[in-house]
Structure 1
Amino acid sequence: MKILLVGEYSRLHNSLKEGLTALGHEVTIVGTGDHFKKYDTDYSIHPKYFSDYLLLRKAKNFIKKLTGYNLEEAEKGYRFKKLLPKLKGFDHIQLINSNAIETQPGFQIKLYKKLLQQNRQMSLLVCGDDTPIIGYCLNGNLKYSILTPYIEKRATAQYYNYSLKYLTPTYRKLFNWVKDNSVCLVTSDLDYEVPMKTQGYTTHFIPNPINTDLITYNQPEITDKIIIFLGINRMSYTKKGISFFEEALNMVRQKYKDKIEIIVTENIPYKEYIKLYDRAHILLDQVYGYDQGYNALEAMAKGKVVFTGAETEFTQHYNLTERVAVNALPDAEAIANELSFLIENPNEIKAISKRARSFIEQEHNYIKIAEKYIEAWKF
């Protein structure tokens, strides 16, 4: 089968492509590469003019401030439109988000219509910010979520502009159009499956695919200091609760200064990011989650002890009786206590590491996950 995957924010579509290719399918990815992360794509719609060139970037910002019109979004749509003659004859299209092309909603619907006219069918993957997810989080139905800082007035609406735009009439219309023209909706983890199911959507819950054939497991060897890694993405700093990690690190830094090494990076490309955390024993991922996102899962496959979402909903769903990751709460003292326990009990790092790799191999195998996608798409 010929399959087109539109959008890439976390390497999810690249891993899915690898699984589908292993099953004999022909797969093409179209996307921007997601800014500084620079994920691989077969066809790029990266807005190089209004993103890479300083003068044009300044002009874009000025025009956006003056009129509200986003030239960078327009360039993405234009680049996708130019690709349309090449995007024909696919048996299935999957959008990683209703806003997968990242252009103006009205223009995006026109592009999707043209795309569907020259291909067979389409599905929507819900694996990040989208209309029903943001609406559910904003209503305060969860004990915490990525919108908690906004709800508690610790972050402004301007900071959450990217997320809150999905509740505007044009983006609601975009989501509804995509939903109505998709053969199925897929969710990638419980942070999206729970809100979707609670709101009455029919979904296929398919965990993130992880290519363990490409990821080598490294049994933690603790001969000197325990290495803790924190990779900061400034664009999602508040949404991921990074300040709690920073505060927790300050608590343990002095207490265990002879026993630990702390590595902190900021806004670096994906390939550089994964190389830098290879030395680490512990990786600090995110706070406001119930399940693990792609970065956490990949680190777990490498054998890292990951502080991330691992709530009761997660352990119950997978029938886990022992920890495969550390549930990171929005509480710096609680995070510091968990770090202290691991620093004082390094054998627990080794135990969690082994369980994490085993869990990924069992529940996130990229070929088995690809088979689930094929079944959901109903070829």
Structure 2
Amino acid sequence: MKILLVGEYSRLHNSLKEGLIVLGHEVTIIGSGDDFKKYNVDHTIFPKYFKKNSIAQFVKKVTYRITGINLEMTEQGIRFYKLLPILKDYDHVQLINSDALETHPWLAKKLYKKLLEQNKKVSLLICGDDTPVMDYNLKNELKYSVLSPYLEDRKLKNLFQYSLKYTTNSYRKLFKWVEGHSNVLITSDLDYEIPMQRMGYTTHFIPNPINTDKIKHNQSNSKKKDKIIIFLGINRLSYIKKGINFFEEALEVIKDKYNDKVEIVVTENVPYAEYIQLYDRADILLDQVYGYDQGYNALEAMAKGKVVFTGAETEFIEHYTLTKPVAINALPNTQTIVKELSYLIENPTEITEISKRARIFIENEHNYIKIAQKYLDTWKKST
């Protein structure tokens, strides 16, 4: 098959591409690379003119203040439009999000319409914020979600503009149009599968693909090390919605309590390639709270044998019928995180055991070739 993957936010599409290529398919990724993360794409729509040129940035700010028009979004749409002539005759097109082009909704619809006219089947992947997921999270029926901080304090609205945009009329219409023209909807983890099901959508749940050939298990022997290394990578754009403040508070306590036993490494807003190199030495990685399941960064860290504090709720345990932990369920509670970290620091053999189980879990449930085959099977069955 000839396959086009549109958008890349987490390396999901790159790993899927790697699995599909092993299975003998031709795959192309188009996207922006997700700003500072700089994920690999075959064709870029990154708005480099308004991102890199200081004069253009000034014009962008003035234009936005006067008209409300974001020229970066305009540039991305134009860049995609210019690539449309070569984006044809694909057997399958997958959009990573209803806003995969990250342009104005009215423009995205026109571009999607042209894209669909010159290709065959299309699938919509639900692997992050999107209209039905945000609608359900706003109901506040789950124990917690990425919108929990906003629901507890509406003054944080400005910090949730990206998530809440999907509930505005223009993005709602865009989602409805994309969903109506998609042959199948696919969810990547339980944080999206649960809301989509409860909102009445028919979806196919396919776990995130992880390249277990490329990512090696490299968890160090914690018993022989002088200090246990704890890593926290901060993305300021998702700081509140990932509950990073709970990790920071917990680390202050851990630093005072176990200063001679731990080394704490904190980074902020670094490109993906640099990020994964920085946490290679770590034994424990702090990913996010407010999750029921693991996101992409957590899964890659688990593949390396890191003990990851992330989403690992009861629903996740039951879905995969786990009897022993493969990750630590990080709750939005500083004292609970301190307690879990303290136990691991005082019982380093448990770090080793969870590390082994995490790797086996990824190999069994997230192997990129097996997952790629699941995508192919789902695409072929869709009508």
Same fold (TM over 0.5): yes
Give CA deviations for 1:108-151 in whole Å, capped at 9, x if unaligned.
Answer: 01000100111111110000010000111111121111111111
Find the residue that maps to 2:158 and give its secondary structure: coil
Give CA deviations for 1:248-304 in whole Å, capped at 9, x if unaligned.
Answer: 000110110000000000000000000000000000000010000000000000000
Q: Which residue of 2 aligns with 1:86?
A: 86
1:309 equivalenced with 2:311 (yes/no) = yes
Q: Is the contact between residue 19 and residue 368 of structure 2 (CA under 8 Å) also seen in structure 1?
A: yes
Q: Which residue of 2 aligns with 1:233?
A: 235
Q: Is the contact between residue 38 and residue 270 of structure 1 (CA under 8 Å) also seen in structure 2?
A: yes
Find the residue that maps to 1:160 and give its secondary structure: helix
Correspondence 1:120-139 to 2 at 5 A = 120-139=120-139
TM-score using structure 2 length: 0.98
Equivalent position amino acid for 2:26 in 1: E
**Which shifted more, 345-354 or 136-145?**
136-145
Q: Is the contact between residue 219 and residue 283 of structure 2 (CA under 8 Å) also seen in structure 1?
A: no
Find the aligned partners of 1:170 and 1:219 in 2 and give their Cα distance.
46
How far does residue 36 in structure 1 lie from its aligned partner after superposition?
Answer: 0.3
1:217 equivalenced with 2:240 (yes/no) = no
Find the aligned partners of 2:58 and 2:268 in 1 and give their Cα distance.
23
How far does residue 199 in structure 1 lie from its aligned partner after superposition?
Answer: 1.2
Find the residue that maps to 2:200 and give its secondary structure: coil
Find the aligned partners of 2:110 and 2:219 in 1 and give their Cα distance.
50
Equivalent position amino acid for 1:142 in 2: L
1:30 equivalenced with 2:26 (yes/no) = no
Q: Which residue of 2 aligns with 1:194?
A: 194
Q: Mark the runs of 5 or more structure 1 residues left unpaired by the alignment.
A: none
1:325 equivalenced with 2:336 (yes/no) = no
Correspondence 1:31-70 to 2 at 5 A = 31-70=31-70
Find the residue that maps to 1:268 and give its secondary structure: coil
How far does residue 158 in structure 1 lie from its aligned partner after superposition?
Answer: 1.2
Q: Which residue of 2 aligns with 1:180?
A: 180
Give CA deviations for 1:22-44 in whole Å, capped at 9, x if unaligned.
Answer: 00000000000000000000000
Equivalent position amino acid for 2:274 in 1: E
Q: Which residue of 2 aligns with 1:250?
A: 252
Q: Is the contact between residue 231 and residue 265 of structure 1 (CA under 8 Å) also seen in structure 2?
A: yes
Find the aligned partners of 1:44 and 1:376 in 2 and give their Cα distance.
27
1:343 equivalenced with 2:339 (yes/no) = no
Find the aligned partners of 2:52 and 2:362 in 1 and give their Cα distance.
37
Distance of aligned partners of 1:155 and 1:241 in 2 relative to their CA distance in 1, 3 Å threshold = farther
Find the aligned partners of 2:344 and 2:62 in 1 and give their Cα distance.
49
Q: Is the contact between residue 246 and residue 334 of structure 2 (CA under 8 Å) also seen in structure 1?
A: yes
Find the residue that maps to 1:274 and give its secondary structure: helix
Find the aligned partners of 1:368 and 1:199 in 2 and give their Cα distance.
29
Find the aligned partners of 2:50 and 2:342 in 1 and give their Cα distance.
46
**Which shifted more, 214-223 or 154-163?**
154-163
Q: Which residue of 2 aligns with 1:146?
A: 146
Q: Is the contact between residue 9 and residue 34 of structure 2 (CA under 8 Å) also seen in structure 1?
A: yes
Give CA deviations for 1:302-329 in whole Å, capped at 9, x if unaligned.
Answer: 0000000000000000000100000000
Equivalent position amino acid for 2:374 in 1: K
Equivalent position amino acid for 1:57 in 2: Q
Q: 1:370 aligns with which of 364, 369, 372?
A: 372
Find the aligned partners of 2:219 and 2:302 in 1 and give their Cα distance.
11
Aligned Cα root-mean-square deviation (Å): 0.8
Find the aligned partners of 1:326 and 1:165 in 2 and give their Cα distance.
31
How far does residue 55 in structure 1 lie from its aligned partner after superposition?
Answer: 2.4
Find the residue that maps to 1:30 and give its secondary structure: strand
Find the aligned partners of 1:121 and 1:60 in 2 and give their Cα distance.
36
Equivalent position amino acid for 2:237 in 1: M
Q: Mark the runs of 5 or more structure 2 residues left unpaired by the alignment.
A: none
Identity of aligned residues (%): 67
Correspondence 1:160-171 to 2 at 5 A = 160-171=160-171
Q: 2:267 aligns with which of 253, 265, 289?
A: 265
Give CA deviations for 1:216-268 in whole Å, capped at 9, x if unaligned.
Answer: 10132122100000000000000100000000000110110000000000000
Work out the number of aligned pairs and report it.
379
Q: 2:355 aligns with which of 353, 356, 360?
A: 353
Q: Which residue of 2 aligns with 1:290?
A: 292
Q: Is the contact between residue 226 and residue 260 of structure 1 (CA under 8 Å) also seen in structure 2?
A: yes
How far does residue 104 in structure 1 lie from its aligned partner after superposition?
Answer: 0.5
Q: Which residue of 1 aligns with 2:203?
A: 203
Equivalent position amino acid for 2:264 in 1: I
Q: Is the contact between residue 220 and residue 353 of structure 1 (CA under 8 Å) also seen in structure 2?
A: no
Find the residue that maps to 1:300 and give its secondary structure: helix
Q: Is the contact between residue 2 and residue 92 of structure 1 (CA under 8 Å) also seen in structure 2?
A: yes
Give CA deviations for 1:57-111 in whole Å, capped at 9, x if unaligned.
Answer: 2321222122210100000000000000010110000000000000001110100
Equivalent position amino acid for 2:39 in 1: Y
How far does residue 155 in structure 1 lie from its aligned partner after superposition?
Answer: 5.1
